Amino acid sequence: MNAKLITLFFALFIFSAYSQQGTWEKLGTRPVDHRLDKDVIMVGARKGGFSKLKIEVRGGAVNMHKMIITYKNGTKENVALRHNFGPKSGSRVIDIRGGKRFIQKITFLYDTKGITPGKAVVHVFGRH
């Protein structure tokens, strides 16, 4: 093989490996209510399952305690977050137990005591 073919083959291999990692899809957005300590994002049926989640917070701060992922089959997974999200912050990548799963809803438990007065908005993303 000549050098051009080897380079083309290598580039296609890298592109293929990268594209199989999946893309992030926005699953939902929820403004944080300073009077409540729980919010739910309904995900519902989506094409394909999700293997990873991540959270982004914009506009205000929130002290997130945990999230509860309810899967399509009714089983639940508790994910301890225990993190003070600032107005422009995000979570670690959260691996979903059992690989790709269909998500019915995600429930967040948080508090906003002593947190900035700006209204936080929580965004959840899933990776196929």
Q: pLDDT tens digits, residue range 80-98?
A: 998 889 888 999 999 998 8
Query: Hey, CA dihedral for 76, 77, 78, 84, is it positive or negative?
Result: negative
**What confidence tier does 1 reach under pLDDT thresholds 50, 70, 90?**
low
31 or 48, greater pLDDT: 31
Give residue 20's pLDDT: 44
Quote the pTM value: 0.76
Q: Name the least confident of 7-11, 19-23, 68-72, 81-85.
A: 7-11
Domain 23-127, CATH: 2.70.9.30
Which of 120, 106, 118 lies closest to 62 in space, CA to CA?
120
pLDDT at 65 over 60: yes
Residue 97 bridge partners (DSSP): none
